[in-house]
Structure 1
Amino acid sequence: MEWYRLKLMGLKSSKIRVLMAECQRYNDIFIKLEELIETLNLTKDDTDLILNSKKCEKYLEMMDYLEKNKIGLLDINDYRYPENLKNIAKPPLFLFYKGNIELLNKERLISIIGTRRATKYGELGCEKIVKDLVDGDVVVVSGLALGIDSIAHNETLKYKGNTVAVLGCGIDIYYPKTNISLRKEIEKNGVVISEFPLGMNPTPGNFPIRNRIIAGLSKGTIIIESSLKGGSLITANLSLEEGRDVFALPGDITYPFSQGCNNLIKLSQAKLLTSGEDILNEYNWSKKNREGEKLNKLIGIKLKIYNTLKTKMHLEEIKREISCNTSELLSNLMELEIEGYVQSLPAGYYRRRL
């Protein structure tokens, strides 16, 4: 973490990067500083910044803040730094994090991104994909933005899965405000990360920088609804440049926010995706036997309702099969929906979720 002293002193990231490549530890710089000055062409200003970093008061203040707020800091030489991220063109030198940092080195990481203005089709598609991924023990990576990002995080947490939120601002900045409670839940049950310095507010230029981390952490990236010039396509292109897989949910050819996904598929830049199982099959990842375990917990009228719902059915159709009064049936359907077994649809229809 002491490498961050150089960042706080204002030494250029390019200079810090070469120093970190030459020295395993921060203190090693001072053991062979004269040699480094010559081999790396360090200027007098560079050298002064390096020497003064040993007495950097800002670093002590920052470390105190991080400790009080339970925020961690990784540098690229740390053994916990994610291997996937090391392999991109310009990996971040530093990562602030809050939560379970071990998730970043899991084998199964898939990112899900998309428009902030998701349609009902996009929401349902995202929910279906996420559930399959969680059943396959996949860590879901996204950007904590409104729309598809939020749905991906929320659905992962709902099914007790693991999720990573990559920020486009400093880790001490809570943005967007509407996602504060979601972010706090991710901090407890996943991990939130940022390469931006403390106090950095979100700006349009930050998000393409953030997106390279989303792509870099993941084995593949899923695009769910995007316009032809959407920010999600930036991440798709970054994924392709880094040799990662891209998947896209096809959509209505008349709808603007389906054009980006459809075009990626049309140009063979993305593989067509209709479920999370497509991802599991692509990488030969096994699916956990959660469904059988959950269904074994159903008893009585709930089990009867579930067994009856072999296809989409109207409330009156279910009532005829179950033979119970409407209030009792509605009460049990509501409980089944809360527990994740059943989904209510418009006009009084229901279907299974498992």
Structure 2
Amino acid sequence: MNNILLYLSNKHKGDNYLIYKDLKDKEKLRKSEIDEITNIYLKNDIKFISIFDLNYPSSLFMVHYPPFVLYYKGNINLLNDLTKKRLYLVDEMNSEYSKEILNKNIKTLTENSILVTNSYASEKHLIDKFKNANASIIYIAKEGLNSSKFDDINLENNLIISQYPIDDHPRKINFRQSNVLSAAIANSLVIFSSYKDSKVNNLVSEFLNLGKDINCFPGSLDEKDGNNHLIQSGANLITQIQAVAK
């Protein structure tokens, strides 16, 4: 069954609704085509888990159409690690104010949590801090895992996952879906700083849709700072990371 799902995922470029529709309609499949797709992944050393596997993260069943297939490279055990919290971190402004807060908390973060990231440009300094501490990171890809952008990632204690097949390129819808996947995998969202009316609000919405906590450090006096607004709207106010990382 797993190889059938692999084939359908490639056929529909990771569109879970279309995969579901083919399964429901009992679409006729050719074994030779299924074997051909399976061999492509073996040659590229890209592994996958399906919705029927025991190690498929239960949190993904909270999503309306959970991914039938998750492609991965690296340490798949990070998805179900119960010893550390999986946190999505945001420090959008990366100001002197937020840097001070981050630096006070980074040791506790890297020792007690796994970073979940979409690898947006505003997250690079957070990724670097986890890399420098040799702490684990789960990267959410918006394309197929044969992309060269993942070549420098240490796969021993990190994980790259994608719901998109080989040779698939980032599309607009993939960015929204990566927010959904991030919200499902992470235990909570921690915001060191954010801008008002920024795209971070899209990520916040996905966490809220799944009943996940939004945790914000106090905002600065900068009128562009969005943290104070999020706190006023009901986000948890935190002053130290121990509140969520231990």
Q: Report if the CA contact (8 A) 1:97-1:193 is conserved.
A: yes
**How many Å apart are 1:97 and its aligned residue?**
0.7
Q: Cα RMSD between the aligned structures?
A: 2.6
1:5-54 deviations in Å (ceiling 9; x for gaps): 2233449733533777xxxxxxxxxxxxxxxxxxx5x3xxxx5xx32343
- Pair 1:86–1:231, CA change in 2 (3 A): same
Partner in structure 2 of residue 89 of structure 1: 64
Flag structure 1 segments of 5+ consecutive residues without an equivalent: 21-39, 286-354
Q: Aligned partners of 1:83, 1:189: CA distance in 2, in Å?
A: 21
Q: 1:222-237 alignment to 2 at 5 Å?
A: 222-237=190-205
Asked if 1:4 is matched to 2:9, the reply is no
**How many Å apart are 1:214 and its aligned residue?**
0.8
Asked if 1:129 is matched to 2:108, the reply is no
**How many Å apart are 1:186 and its aligned residue?**
4.3
Residue identity opposite 1:110 in structure 2: L
Asked if 1:14 is matched to 2:7, the reply is no
| Count of aligned pairs between the two proteins | 241
Partner in structure 2 of residue 153 of structure 1: 127
Q: Report if the CA contact (8 A) 2:91-2:194 is conserved.
A: yes
Partner in structure 2 of residue 26 of structure 1: none
Single out whichever of 3-12 and 74-83 deviates more from structure 2. 3-12
Asked if 1:248 is matched to 2:216, the reply is yes
Residue identity opposite 2:20 in structure 1: R
Structure having the larger proportion of residues in helix: 1
Partner in structure 1 of residue 144 of structure 2: 170
**How many Å apart are 1:105 and its aligned residue?**
0.6
Give the 3-state SS of the residue equivalent to 1:86 in structure 2: helix
- Pair 1:234–1:174, CA change in 2 (3 A): farther
- Pair 1:201–1:123, CA change in 2 (3 A): farther
Flag structure 2 segments of 5+ consecutive residues without an equivalent: none
Partner in structure 2 of residue 266 of structure 1: 232
1:61-97 deviations in Å (ceiling 9; x for gaps): 4433432332211111111211222223332221111
Q: Aligned partners of 1:201, 1:162: CA distance in 2, in Å?
A: 25
- Pair 1:198–1:255, CA change in 2 (3 A): farther
Q: Report if the CA contact (8 A) 1:170-1:197 is conserved.
A: yes
Q: Which of structures 1 and 2 has the larger relative contact order (alpha carbons within 8 angstroms, sep 6+)? A: 2
1:177-201 deviations in Å (ceiling 9; x for gaps): xxx6xx6234342101111222222
Asked if 1:113 is matched to 2:65, the reply is no
Residue identity opposite 1:13 in structure 2: N
**How many Å apart are 1:124 and its aligned residue?**
4.2
Give the 3-state SS of the residue equivalent to 1:212 in structure 2: helix
Partner in structure 2 of residue 140 of structure 1: 115
Single out whichever of 195-204 and 161-170 deviates more from structure 2. 195-204
Give the 3-state SS of the residue equivalent to 1:184 in structure 2: coil
Partner in structure 2 of residue 239 of structure 1: 207
Residue identity opposite 2:16 in structure 1: S
TM-score (norm 1): 0.61
TM-score (norm 2): 0.85
Q: Report if the CA contact (8 A) 2:188-2:215 is conserved.
A: yes
- Pair 1:205–1:146, CA change in 2 (3 A): same
Give the 3-state SS of the residue equivalent to 2:215 in structure 1: strand
